[in-house]
Amino acid sequence: MSQELFQVTPEALLPEVAELVVTALNLDIGPEQIEPDAPLFGEGLGLDSIDVLEVALVISKRYGFQLRSDSEDNIRIFTSLRTLVTYIAAHRTK
């Protein structure tokens, strides 16, 4: 399979990943309501560590790479939808 298939801009992935987050967590909002730069933890989307594990599992299955729960980068990766999407765009294998 060509690597070119995976070279999608982060901006193009935003709606898809927002939909994955909403579906994985059964949120009562539409994916378009997730602000790309709003915090995913606390005041923003209000995710907790269990939510992050659920999202990481879905992302791993969908994009073909592992997000490790013990990674020190998780705080940075899950800062916002945009940082998450940027990480996915750079590391996806499918």
Which CATH number does the domain housing residue 13 bear?
A: 1.10.1200.10
Secondary structure, 3-state, 24-72: HHCCCCCHHHCCCCCECECCCCCECHHHHHHHHHHHHHHHCCCCCCCCC
Which residue range(s) make up the domain with 27? Answer: 3-91
Tell me the pTM.
0.88
- Mean pLDDT score, 80-92: 95
For 2, the token pair is 């060509």
pLDDT tens digits, one per residue of 23-65: 999 999 999 999 999 999 888 899 998 999 999 999 999 999 9
Q: How many domains does the chain have?
A: 1
Contact partners, residue 92, CB within 8 Å, separation at least 6: 6, 63, 64, 65
Q: Can you give the pLDDT at residue 2?
A: 43
